[in-house]
Structure 1
Amino acid sequence: MSKKTDFLIYCMERYRYFKGLSGEEAARLFDRYDIYSFLMKYYESLHTMGDRCIVEDIDGYIASVSS
């Protein structure tokens, strides 16, 4: 696997953990809001951040596309 693929998996797992979601719930959420594209677009800056910052950025992204 590539580093970016590993990063996507890592982000989904951390988001799932912080939000108390099942794997299926997290996957549906990531698909619904195309969070994978967001993570790839901002990979260079996001991969240097801590878990909480990544989760907060994902939440911010979801809020921006769902409003």
Structure 2
Amino acid sequence: MKEENKPFNNVIDHINKIEGNAANVSKGAVKKLPKPLKYFGNFIAGFLSISILLIIILNLLH
């Protein structure tokens, strides 16, 4: 196990081994996703960001 992924106590070790934990996913795993899934994720993130900004701006103008 890499030093950066080493659990700091038994509870975290249990979560990683038994229940599974997304925190152990490497940073490069996103680069391996299929292109349509990457584009869909980027679209959702962009849509949510723009929606939040529009809501804030429209509430200030109201």
State TM-score, norm by structure 1: 0.33
Q: Greater relative contact order: 1 or 2 (C-alpha under 8 angstroms, separation 6 or more)?
A: 1
State TM-score, norm by structure 2: 0.35
Specify the structure having the higher radius of gyration (Cα): 2
